[in-house]
Amino acid sequence: MKLKILLLIPILSSSIFAFNTSKYINQDHCAQLIINPYFKVCYDYNLMGAKVISYTLNGEKVNRINIKKRPSFHTEKSLNREYRVSPKSYSKTGYDRGHMANDASFDWSIESLNATYTMANIVPQEPRVNRYHWVKVERYARLVARKLGSLNVVNIIQYTSNPKRLKKQNIAIPKGFYKILYNKEKDFEKCFYYKNDSSSYEKKEKLKKHLIECSLIEPNPLYP
């Protein structure tokens, strides 16, 4: 598998970039914290979507069962009704319902798989980005989790200060996405960035093109 090549790329020392999830997922930064047994969501009422989603992949569970049948998208019941996004809000918008905690990493039980289909875990993604590029880094994360035993994943959704929005429910459209992968015990750390722009990429673009230095991620990259 070509993705294995990235495991050989030198990593940054944790002394250079000691990622701290609590800097991004906390009561001050998030309008509401949504926590289930599988991942955490930093939700923003104004954006009508997530700002940060984090989770830990268990290398023994990843790809253990691979449930084929996918559940339906559903609203997030822990949110007040005015902040819940309906799956229908994405219909005929040209955007995919983009998973941040992706279904293929949690298809080892019906409960974990179903959890990823909450709309609080979904953001508008350009189809080519979602289907051909973002999916590659998700696959790579599972590969690393199996190799190292576990892997921490943090998805930071980048918005502009005045984002474009889907007409239905005024859902903010992200500018881009950071994916941070790390295992401090194994001294492993890699970061990636993807623009939410289909015209920016070729269909067969290599994963390493999106690799960035973790130290370049700003303390708060949400509103550049």
The predicted-structure confidence for 182-209, as pLDDT tens digits, reads as follows 999 999 999 999 999 977 777 778 899 9
Q: Give the residue from 143, 31, 162, 158 showing the smallest Cα distance to 100.
A: 158
Q: What angle do CA 71, 114, 222 make, to 5 degrees?
A: 110
- Distance, in Å, from the CA atom of 171 to the CA atom of 85, rounded to the nearest integer, reads 8
- Residue tagged active-site, from 29, 74, 99, 210: 99
Which tokens hold the place of 187?
């001294």
pLDDT at 220: 59
The fold of 2-216 is Extracellular Endonuclease; Chain A (3.40.570)
Q: What is the DSSP letter of 118?
A: B
130 labelled ligand-binding: yes
- Token pair 């892997």 is found at 151
Residues 6+ apart with CB under 8 A from 54: 21, 24, 25, 39, 40, 152, 153, 154, 155
- Distance, in Å, from the CA atom of 207 to the CA atom of 205, rounded to the nearest integer, reads 7
Q: What is the pLDDT of residues 135-183, one digit of tens each?
A: 999 999 999 999 999 999 999 999 999 999 999 999 999 999 999 999 9
Task: Report the chain's C-alpha Rg in angstroms.
Answer: 17
- Distance, in Å, from the CA atom of 120 to the CA atom of 21, rounded to the nearest integer, reads 18
Q: What is the pLDDT of residues 110-137, one digit of tens each?
A: 999 999 999 999 999 999 999 999 999 9
* pTM, 2 dp: 0.90
Burial class (CB in 10 A: 0-12, 13-18, 19+), 216: exposed
99 is an active site residue = yes
> Are 179 and 154 a contacting pair, CB within 8 Å?
yes
* Beta bridge partner(s), residue 53: 41, 155
- Distance, in Å, from the CA atom of 224 to the CA atom of 129, rounded to the nearest integer, reads 21
